[in-house]
């Protein structure tokens, strides 16, 4: 079993202890969260409703599901809200009864862990580095007959690679012929400016073998509240709901979710900032000796450090000593020791990262 630090980013508590730094002195590039943080509307809604913590939350999340269904353009009956998408991934595997999973890698570790937790088997399909980690559509289609579950992350984490809707539909339709449930994780789709060209969310009510995961913690900047949703066939939603703990989504998370979905200006501001800062980071990182950032569609960049003379772990540790957390990608299949992942943050924070990286690379080059 991998150490927890190899599975997820965002553990500022461990970094604070390891480097002897106050938590508020650490800039976290390891978690792919909206650099603006929660909107003022979300903060105000949470503060205004603090008194509700004296009551149980709505176990059906009716107000949030109604708002989310309208935002995503799907019927409420196809939606289940959970304590982040991680909870929903495990619930989905349990409720579906599927246990022979195909997983293109490198990708988010919880897909495989959820299947293994139910005694299932995993077949990994490599997304090849020399092909820019593109989705291996033909290999996936070849292996569908031996599977009953397929996980696809789009845009993919940690590569940021975005697959086209046509390719996704081909896979989903072929999977249906073989009785394979396709789970598409669109946790970062809100960061894609022209997402309507890529999301398969509208297909959920048409395809009986499609489930789409949606994260609210990343785009709306509320990872501490834990909030996610899954859009799936009604029968699967009912089975998952029967297995779910009745109050897994706390009242403040529900309040924050409703408020966030109503903040259209904040959404537009977020995408403008992320796109501008991603271009800036990509350009500046490309100019640093030994670093090779990969273009990506999400709010983060995967960076090859193999030509720097340092391993990904050494780069991450040196940055950590300067109060900057990045994601060492040693926990991802095929990336061990060679890649780090950087979230896109605000200009002052991005400049701080670049200053320390320049210092590290200068010292190494001497």
206: left (phi over 0), alpha (psi -120 to 50) or beta: alpha
Q: What is the CATH number of the domain that holds 120?
A: 3.40.640.10
Q: How far apart are CA 213 and CA 168, in angstroms?
A: 15
d(CA 106, CA 125): 9
Identify whether residues 160 and 213 lie together within a single domain. yes
Residue 269 sits in the same domain as residue 253: no
Q: At which residue do the structure tokens 């929903």 appear?
A: 88
115 exposed, middle or buried (CB, 10 Å; 0-12, 13-18, 19+)?
buried
Domain match, 221 and 90 both:
yes
Together in a domain, 90 and 145: yes
Predicted confidence band of residue 4 (pLDDT cuts 50, 70, 90): very low
Q: What CATH number did the domain enclosing 280 receive?
A: 3.90.1150.10
Q: How many residues does the chain have?
A: 366
10 — pLDDT class (breaks 50, 70, 90): low
Q: Are residues 103 and 220 in the same domain?
A: yes
Q: What is the pLDDT of residue 1?
A: 35
Taking a C-beta distance cutoff of 8 angstroms, is the pair 132, 163 a contact? no
pLDDT of residue 5: 45
> For residue 237, is it within any domain?
yes
Which has more pLDDT, 193 or 40?
40
Please list the residues that pair with 49 across neighbouring strands: none
CB 127 within 8 A of CB 163: no
What's the first-to-final CA gap in the chain, in angstroms? Answer: 38
Residue pLDDT, tens place only, 128-184: 999 999 999 999 999 999 999 999 999 999 999 999 999 999 999 999 999 999 999
Inform me whether the pLDDT recorded for 39 exceeds 50. Answer: yes
Q: Is residue 196 part of a domain?
A: yes
| Residue 154 · residue 198 · CB < 8 Å | yes
To which residue do tokens 């904040």 refer? 266
Out of 262, 289, 322, pick the residue that ends a domain.
262
| C-alpha closest to that of 42 among 269, 259, 268 | 259
Q: What is the mean pLDDT of residues 176-196?
A: 96
- pLDDT attached to residue 362: 87
> Could you tell me if 70 and 13 lie in one domain?
no
68 plus 188 within the same structural domain: yes
Percentage with pLDDT > 70 across the chain: 96
Looking at the structure, tell me whether residues 284 and 161 fall in a common domain: no
Question: Quick check: 63 pLDDT over 60?
Answer: yes
CA dihedral of 345, 347, 352, 357, whole degrees rounded to 10: 70
Residue 35 lies in a domain: no
Indicate whether 163 and 289 sit together in one domain: no
Count CB atoms within 10 A of the CB of residue 177.
10
Indicate if 69 and 110 belong to the same structural domain: yes
State the pLDDT at residue 19: 73
Q: Within this chain, do residues 307 and 355 fall inside the same structural domain, yes or no?
A: yes
Mean pLDDT of the chain: 94
Same domain for 255 and 349?
no
Asked if 133 and 338 count as a contact pair (C-beta separation under 8 A), the reply is no
Domain of 113? 40-262
């Amino acid at each position: 079993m991998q150490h927890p630090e190899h599975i997820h980013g965002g553990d500022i508590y461990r970094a604070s202890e390891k480097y002897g730094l106050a938590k508020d002195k650490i800039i976290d590039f390891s978690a792919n969260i909206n650099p603006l943080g929660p909107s003022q509307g979300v903060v105000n809604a949470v503060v205004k409703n603090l008194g509700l913590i004296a009551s149980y939350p709505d176990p059906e999340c009716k107000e949030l599901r109604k708002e989310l269904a309208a935002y995503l353009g799907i019927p409420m009956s196809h939606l289940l809200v959970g304590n982040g998408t991680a909870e929903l991934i495990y619930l989905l595997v349990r409720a579906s009864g599927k246990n022979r999973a195909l997983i293109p890698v490198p990708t988010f570790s919880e897909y495989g862990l959820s299947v293994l937790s139910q005694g299932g088997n995993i077949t990994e399909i490599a997304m090849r580095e020399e092909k820019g980690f593109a989705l291996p559509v033909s290999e996936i289609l070849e292996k569908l007959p031996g599977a009953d579950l397929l996980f696809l992350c789009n845009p993919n984490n940690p590569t940021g690679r975005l697959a086209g809707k046509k390719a996704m539909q081909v896979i989903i339709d072929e999977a249906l012929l073989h009785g394979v449930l396709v789970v598409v994780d669109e946790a970062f789709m809100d960061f894609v400016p022209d997402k309507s060209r890529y999301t398969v969310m509208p297909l959920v009510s048409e395809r009986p073998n499609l489930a789409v995961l949606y994260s609210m913690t990343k785009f709306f900047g509320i990872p501490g509240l834990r909030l996610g949703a899954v859009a799936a066939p009604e029968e699967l939603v009912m089975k998952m709901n029967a297995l779910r703990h009745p109050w897994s989504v706390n009242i403040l998370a529900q309040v924050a979710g409703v408020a966030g979905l109503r903040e259209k200006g904040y959404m537009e501001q977020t995408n403008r900032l992320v796109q501008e800062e991603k271009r800036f980071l990509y350009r500046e990182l490309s100019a640093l000796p030994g670093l090779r950032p990969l273009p990506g569609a999400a709010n983060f960049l995967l960076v090859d450090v193999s030509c720097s003379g340092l391993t990904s772990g050494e780069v991450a540790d040196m940055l950590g000593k300067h109060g900057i957390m990045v994601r060492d990608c040693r926990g991802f299949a095929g990336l061990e020791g060679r890649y780090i992942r950087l979230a896109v943050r605000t200009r002052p924070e991005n400049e701080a990262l670049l200053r320390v990286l320049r210092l590290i690379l200068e010292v190494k080059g001497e």
